[in-house]
């Protein structure tokens, strides 16, 4: 199996104020741990392209995109909500982040690689069809999923989201599309103050209480995710890979560790190997404590490699 990594120096152009958690150092921390672990030696590297307007319009409205693309016409800094800001380099970074997932889907669907990790920022899973929020402008994983559906011609895919915060944007975009199975776990109640339990149909939400750790995560995955994934039999799996549930990360009150992310990734890999030809696209979402972020990404990728 070969592992590819897609990123771009432009992802560092999204500069934030000093107290904002989403810093360019996040990607540097991942790179440092890839080097230290030896994974860097076996990675195949690709540069993220810029997403096109057509690709964005599969999941975002034209009016929303017009607004985002012209936000900085008359000013150098814009707050889209209390958490989400734009600076002069933000739009380019966001276009690279979404474009990375397009490239990743193409790589796995063309069988050039089985597993691709997108080390990008800003994150995406909170972005709704008409709304930026939670650090997110474009819903990167949704853009990739919509591209896959357009190219795959009626085949099924799964999105697995293990960020500590509920991926409200992804659910909103695919709520009425039962060709997309969404399996998520997240702290609840917590930001963005939605994400009710759902154990049937094509949206499987497994909320975790504050203080939950590996035992609770594993129970939810085994009881709710795995049986549904087995019935659904996805032909492609995309992951919203958030690592802010780590016990060292103060962006949540969960108590996960690297072994939990490795175990979860092993379960995803097993499903992908059985039904999807091993095809997995993993996209960085949260994870803001730099050391635990880097270590967790390494654990995730090693498990996906097998």
Model confidence pLDDT, tens digit, residues 80-114: 999 999 999 999 999 999 999 999 999 999 999 99
Give the whole-angstrom CA distance, residue 235 versus residue 222.
20
Domains, the chain, ordered by start: 3-305 (3.40.800.20)
Give the whole-angstrom CA distance, residue 187 versus residue 189.
6
300 is catalytic: no
- What mean pLDDT is predicted for residues 104-133? 98
Give the pair of three-digit tokens for residue 300: 């995730």
Residue 244's CB is within 10 A of a number of other CB atoms, namely 26
**Strand order, beta sheet including 43-47:** 43-47, 3-7, 115-118, 280-284, 237-241, 157-161, 180-187, 203-208
pTM as predicted:
0.98
* pLDDT value for 1: 67
For 74, the 3-state DSSP assignment is coil
* pLDDT value for 155: 84
152 or 156, greater pLDDT: 156
- DSSP H helical segments within 162-289, as ranges? 168-174, 214-220, 226-232, 258-275
pLDDT in tens, 48-57: 999 999 999 9
Phi, psi angles (nearest 5°) of residue 264? -60, -40
For the residues of 58-73, what is the DSSP string, one character each? TTS-HHHHHHHHTTTS
Catalytic pick among 126, 165, 202, 246: 126
């Amino acid at each position: 199996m070969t592992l590819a990594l897609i990123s771009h120096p432009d992802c560092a152009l999204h500069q934030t104020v000093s107290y904002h958690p989403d810093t360019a150092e996040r990607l540097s921390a991942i790179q440092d741990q890839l080097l230290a672990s030896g994974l860097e030696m076996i990675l195949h590297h690709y540069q993220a392209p810029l997403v096109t307007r057509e690709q964005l319009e599969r999941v975002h409205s034209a009016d929303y995109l017009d607004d985002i693309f012209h936000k900085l016409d008359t000013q150098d800094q814009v707050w889209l909500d209390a958490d989400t800001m734009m600076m002069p380099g933000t739009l380019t970074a966001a276009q690279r982040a979404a474009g990375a997932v397009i490239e990743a889907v193409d790589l796995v669907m063309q069988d050039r690689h089985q597993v691709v990790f997108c080390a990008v920022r800003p994150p995406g899973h909170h972005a709704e069809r008409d709304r930026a929020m939670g650090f997110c402008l474009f819903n990167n994983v949704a853009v990739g999923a919509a591209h896959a559906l357009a190219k795959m011609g009626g085949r099924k895919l799964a999105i697995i989201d293990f960020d500590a915060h509920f991926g409200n944007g992804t659910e909103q975009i695919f709520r009425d599309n039962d060709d997309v199975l969404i399996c998520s776990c997240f702290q609840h109640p917590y930001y963005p103050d939605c994400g009710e339990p759902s154990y049937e149909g094509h949206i499987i939400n497994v909320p975790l209480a504050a203080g939950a750790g590996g035992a609770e995560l594993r129970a939810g995955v085994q009881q709710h995710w795995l049986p549904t994934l087995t019935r659904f039999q996805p032909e492609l799996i995309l992951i919203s890979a958030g690592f802010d549930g780590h016990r060292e990360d103060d962006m949540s009150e969960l108590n996960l560790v690297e072994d939990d992310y490795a175990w979860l990734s092993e379960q995803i890999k097993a499903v992908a190997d059985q039904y999807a030809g091993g095809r997995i696209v993993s996209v960085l979402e949260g994870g803001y404590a730099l050391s635990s972020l880097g270590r967790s990404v390494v654990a995730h990728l090693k498990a996906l490699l097998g």
